[in-house]
Each structure stands twice: as C-alpha cells, then as structure tokens.
Amino acid sequence: MNKQPARGVRRLGSPIRAAWFIVLAMMLAAAAWSISGKLTDWGMEPRLAWALSLMFDLAGLICADYARRAIERGTPAGLARLSIAGFVTVSGVLNWSHGREIGGTVGGIGLASISAAVELLFELHRRDVRDEQRHARGLVAERMPHIPLLGWLLFPRQSWRTLRAAVRVRLDTLDTVQAPAVPVVTVERAEQPPVPAQPQPTTQLPPAPPSSAPPVIVYQDPRCAAIRPLYDAGTRPSTSAMRAALIKAHGVAPGDSTIRGVIRAEIEQHEPHLAQLPPALPMAAGQNP
C-alpha cells in the first residue's frame, strides 16, 4: 500500500530534549560505573573494564537509533529492538551482581533498575516516534468506544455486545492486503469536443477571448485517479463507493481510515469545493460499482 510521506511530525520541545539527554547520560554513567566495578573485581584491568562497560552502553544506543530510523521509514524494527533487549539484559545482570555485593538485595535491585529505566526511556521514545509517524500518514485508527464502569455494573451483557460489535467493525476495516506500488500518474480533465466553426456574420464582432485550458492535477497517491470520477455525480462519495472503485481499479482497497484520511483528503486538498458537496448515500450490499 502506498502511503503519503510523513509531514508535520511534532518534535519534543528543547527543554524536554535537554532533560531527556541529561537523565539518559546519568543513567548510562551509573550503569558503566557498576559494570566496570564488577569487571574489575573479576580481575580485569580498570581501563579495559571501563572500555567494555562503555561498549555495552554505546552498542545499545546504536541499536536504539536503528530502531528509530526503521520506524521513520515504516519498516520492521524487530531485530534492533531485540538487540537492545539483549544488551540491557546483560547490563542488568551485571548491575544486579555488583549491587548485591555493595548493598545487598536492595543495592542489587537499585542498580539493576538503571538498565530497566534506560530500556523504558527508549521504549517510550520509540512509541512516541511511531505514533507521530502514524498520525502524519493518516493511519491513526478511531478510538474504541469507552464503556463506563457503571454501564458494566448495570448492563453487563449489553456492554459486552457493544464492545464486541465495535471490535468486529474495527477488524472488518483493517488494511490486511498491501497493493503493489504503482508510479505517480497525471490526471487531466476531459475537454469538451471542439465546436464546429460557424459562418462569419456580416457584422464585424470582436473576437471571443480564448478559453483557458483545464488545470492539470498531479496526485501524489495514484489511487486518487480511481476516486475522483465519483465526484462527477454532484455528491461527495461514500466510503463504500470509494472502496468499490478502488477494488475495481486496483483489485484491492486499503482500510477506511486510509480511504478517507489519505486518498479523499488529497483530492479535496486540490479541489476544496468538492468537500462542500452533499454526501452520497452508502452503496447497498451486493451492488455493483
């Protein structure tokens, strides 16, 4: 499925970014001190122990950056996340062992929690970047209905049926098939056939101004070409009609949020007056597009 390039991604503010880096640097320094102390106790030369402990921290940072880049590209980040978990696990075990030696169980928990805190900080940052990318691409799904606790207590069966129906609708609109990438196409409006030349009247009239050529619209998403003719009926097409047109043109159709938030949004961005048309009735089940 072709997606629009991410635009308008919101970044963390400067004070938050500064606090994020300060906290991260302090936690990594504490973890490096703990690991190097444990390696020194095992007989390793102090400078080599510090270098090895920094290797764990820097390798985790590299893997975290790979995970962030994968999210921004929209590609899987499983291997990078698994590598982060591996480095954090080894670091946590070494910190636990060193903490128990200097402070018992409480010391072990305290030093081991540093590695867990680093992992939690990166996970929160990863999820924030992922959600911003989804929001920029128009892939944020509608929120599920919120059933209050009082509804569960007074009407448990009805609340359960409402939740099941909402989940079923969400599953029916999931975009489970990805369409093959197709190049960007140029859509040009059909021009009126030329009017045959009329005989010139005897009275000399001023020449008529030349008609302006219709605008040429270049869509970033080529699937817009299958949706735009539906507006010629004088109504704003429904989601079911747009889905049927996409299936007829490309064989597959994305989820409803992509149809409305990406494809239709681009068409109406080029021609804002189309958004003011009256809505069309949804297509009936089994109706041919």
Q: What is the mean pLDDT of the chain?
A: 76
CB atoms inside a 10 Å sphere around CB 250: 15
CA distance linking residue 127 with residue 96, whole number of Å: 27
The predicted model gives 255-266 an average pLDDT of 85
pLDDT at 288 over 60: no
The predicted model gives 198-209 an average pLDDT of 57
Using pLDDT thresholds of 50, 70 and 90, give the confidence band for residue 155: very high
246 close to 222: Cβ distance less than 8 angstroms: no
Taking Cα atoms as reference points, which of 1, 4, 269 lies closest to residue 134?
4
226 close to 249: Cβ distance less than 8 angstroms: yes
> Which of 12-16, 235-239, 280-284 comes out lowest in average pLDDT?
280-284
The predicted model gives 88-96 an average pLDDT of 82
Position 196 scores a pLDDT of 62
Helices (H) and strands (E) in the chain, counts: 9, 2
- Note the pTM of the prediction, 2 decimals: 0.41
pLDDT at 182 over 50: no
Higher per-residue confidence, 173 vs 95: 95
The predicted model gives 260-284 an average pLDDT of 83
Position 111 scores a pLDDT of 81
Q: Is the dihedral of CA 64, 93, 90, 47 positive or negative?
A: positive
CA distance linking residue 173 with residue 140, whole number of Å: 13
Position 181 scores a pLDDT of 43
Q: For tokens 């999210």, what's the residue?
A: 71
Using pLDDT thresholds of 50, 70 and 90, give the confidence band for residue 175: low
Coil, strand or helix at 236 = strand
